[in-house]
Amino acid sequence: MLVFSVTAAALFTPTAPAQAASLYGIKAVAVAASKKGAPYVYGATGPGEFDCSGLTLYAFRAAGRVLPRTAEAQYESTDHISRTERAPGDLVFFPTGGTMGHVGIYAGQNKIWHAPRPGTRVRLERIWTGTVRYSRAN
Active site residues: 52, 102, 114
Preceding amide of 116 cis, omega within 30: no
Neighbours of 135 (CB within 10 A): 23
- The answer to whether residues 42 and 52 touch, using CB atoms and an 8 Å cutoff, is no
Alpha helices in 1-128 (DSSP H): 8-11, 23-34, 52-63, 71-76
